Structures are given as structure tokens and as C-alpha cells.
Amino acid sequence: MEQNDKIIYDIAVVGAGPAGAIFVKELAEARPDLKIALIDGQSPDSAKPCGGLLAPDAQKILAKFDLVLPKSILEDPQIFAVQTIDVDQKLVRYYQRHYLNMDRYAFDRWLISLVPSHVALIKGRCLDIKGEGDIHAVSVKTADEKIQLKTKALVGADGAGSIVRRTFFTPMRVQYVAIQQWFENKGQKLPYYSCIFDSKTSDSCSWTIHKGNYVIFGGAFDKQGCREAFDKQKERLEGFLSNSFGEAVKTEACLVSSPRGLKDYRTGKDNVFLLGEAAGFISASSFEGLSSAMLSGKLLADSFIEGKAYRDIQKHYRKKTRSLRTKLRTKSIKRTFLCTPFTRKIIMKSGIQSIKPYK
């Protein structure tokens, strides 16, 4: 579909991750009459840093869509437990988990492939948004040029650093910098999947995940001094494990949100809507956001189908996401217990819900 100033889209979606792709897929299938533009800023070189684990809640949502995951998206190995490590207090516990290990970028590409062909898929990065009465002008930098789209409604599905949220709403109060490094898997004795706490370097969590021929180490750190804290934590973890990650082959970083209260969740206003992490829909305790992203995409699509005016759509969407916001609020409370050294020590020492590995 040609993009020029003469086309006015009914809806433009900034961000083609799970939230944006599911929203567009569901709405375009039900309302083929709508002119929809999906702006996709990802590429293999700019993919979002992510552990790439598909949690049970996300699996359940795919099941409700009657979707099956292609084998090509899965990564080795498949993981059955998380090794929880408190570096500072020298505690280790194992907890059973039911995640699917996958290639996150391939997963996003697969979801986009499900979007109907009449949707305008625009490869590029959103640079600026300006209002022109009831119309939004969206500037996009593609590989070849800078173009401008005009749209009646705007949907922000562009993650923690959402330009849509920054333009129209108050930003998330608490955000970290997620830093992740990839290392060649040379048989190092490193946890297949771990959740790491180290109060000396971060008040949040970190992780290791084996991914094919690589091992990932990543974590969430305060914006100020994030790289120094990351390097220090990696050094402390290597000392705790008595093993080395080796030389990093790739380093990635992005913002990640940590909602702490109901005010952090913003669904939209007037003809502007927010999805997924842009709306604050992400777990503050584990940073799992795929399930909330896909669910919010489905709920907003249903709201567009049911509502006539933007006011009605906003009302429907707010109501439909009430239980999601409540659930994520409990994750914020859980985070307080897990990320406070004293209460974390009590939980880990008790061994509640942990499993004891065979010697």
C-alpha cells in the first residue's frame, strides 16, 4: 500500500511486537474495511533484548487463539527449573518452571506473518508524532527515506521507551536499563536458567539462560552507573559460581519498566491507546511481558470491534483490562518481598515450593 500525505489511516500502530501484532491481526480480520498501518522498527540487528522464555500464561493465550508454535522458533535446551541465586547471602534454591525456550526475534516475526496482507506493514522507526486537529501526523524513518503517515487513531505498542506514551502521557515512574550479553557455550558449568539477586549491584533481578550455542547473562540495573553495576555483578557471580562466562560476543541494552502502582498503568485517552509495556503491562517481579502484551492486544481489538466512538472504545478497554491491572499489581507486591534481602532470605531459607535436586 502506498504511503503518502493523501492517505489517512483509520489506525496507525507504533510497534510490531506481540502487543501490536496481535492487536492488528485480530482487528484486521474482524474489520477488513479499516485502513491500518503497522510500523515495525525491529531488525535482526536491533531486536529487543529478551530472555526469550514463553511463560505458561503466554502459552495459554496462544492456545485460546488456537495457535501452535512452529518448531523453528524453539531453542535448545528446554528448561524445567529455575536456579534462584542470592549472591550476597550465598543462598541457592531450585523451583520448577514450565517455560518454553525460544528465539524471541523469530517469535515476533512469526506473529507478524499472521497479520492479514491488506494491512500496511511499514519497516521503519517512529521519530516524531504531532497533532493536526483530530489527525495525528507520524514521522517514520525507513531504510531509504523519511515518510509521514496521517491517522485518525494512534496505538502505542512500542515498549518501555514508548514515544507514544512520552508524547501524550506521563512516563513510567520506575524504569531500569536491561543489559544482556551473549557468550559462546563452551561447556562452562553455568546454570541453564537462573534468577539472580545481588543487593550490592541492583535492587532488581538478573538471569542466565542457555540459548542454543550461547549462554546469556542479563539483568536490570539503575540507569545511573548501569554498565558498571552490570560488570561488577557479572564478576561477583563468576566468583560465586567458580566459573567464567568468557568473552562476550554481543551486548544488548534497552529500557525495561517496573510498575509499582495503579497510576503506572495507562490505557489511553481520546483517540490514543497504549498496549503492552507501553501501557505498563509487565510483571514487576520477573519482567515477563509477553502474556500481558498479547492479552492487551486482544482486548483492545475487541474494544474497537464493540465500540463506536473513541470514548466507548476507551471505556471498553479500561474495563476489559481491569483484571490484568489487578494481577500485575500483585506482581508489584511480590517484587517487594523478593527484592528485599531480609524477606527474600526468609523465603529461600524456608524452602517453600522449592525442589531438591538429586546429588
Is 27 in contact with 301 (CB distance < 8 Å)? yes
- Residue 14 to residue 225: CA distance in whole angstroms: 30
Please check whether the domain covering 8-46+104-173+261-334 is classified as CATH 3.50.50.60.
yes
Buried b (16+ CB within 10 A) or exposed e, 171-194: ebebbbbbbbbbbebeeeebbbbb
pLDDT band at 231 (very low <50, low <70, confident <90, very high): very high
The continuous run of DSSP H or E covering 272 comes out as strand 272-274
290 phi, psi to nearest 5 deg: -65, -45
Long-range CB contacts for residues 128-134, cutoff 8 Å, separation at least 24: 128/163, 129/14, 129/154, 129/163, 129/164, 129/167, 134/271
pLDDT band at 1 (very low <50, low <70, confident <90, very high): very low
Contacts (Cβ under 8 Å, ≥6 apart) of 168: 269, 272
Neighbours of 345 (CB within 10 A): 15
Is 101 in contact with 359 (CB distance < 8 Å)? no
| 205-221 confidence digits (pLDDT tens) | 999 999 999 999 999 99
Give the pLDDT score at 271: 97
pTM over 0.85: yes
The continuous run of DSSP H or E covering 328 comes out as helix 322-338
Q: Per residue, what are the HEC states of 120-187?
A: EEEECEEEEEEEECCEEEEEEECCCCEEEEEEEEEEECCCCCCHHHHHHCCCCCCEEEEEEEEEECCC
Give the pLDDT score at 5: 57
pLDDT band at 131 (very low <50, low <70, confident <90, very high): confident
The continuous run of DSSP H or E covering 190 comes out as none
| 319-335 confidence digits (pLDDT tens) | 999 999 999 999 999 99
What separation in angstroms does the CA of 263 have from each of 161, 191, 285, 310?
Answer: 17, 37, 17, 21
Three-class SS of residue 204? coil
| 168-187 confidence digits (pLDDT tens) | 999 999 999 999 999 999 98
Give the pLDDT score at 6: 72
Give the pLDDT score at 48: 76
In this prediction, what percent of the chain has a pLDDT beyond 70?
98
CB neighbour class for 255 (10 Å; exposed up to 12, middle 13-18, buried from 19): middle
Which amino acid type is present at position 9? Y
Contacts (Cβ under 8 Å, ≥6 apart) of 329: 259, 261, 262
In this prediction, what percent of the chain has a pLDDT beyond 90?
92
Distance of CA 356 to the CA centre of its chain: 31
CATH of domain 71-103+174-258+339-350: 3.30.9.10
Is 221 in contact with 176 (CB distance < 8 Å)? yes
Residue found by looking up cell 483517540 in the block: 271
C-alpha cell, 17: 511486537
Instruction: Count Cα neighbours of 338 within 13 Å in the Cβ-side half-sphere.
Output: 19
Instruction: List the domain boundaries for the chain.
Output: 8-46+104-173+261-334, 71-103+174-258+339-350
| 21-51 confidence digits (pLDDT tens) | 999 999 999 999 999 999 999 887 777 778 8
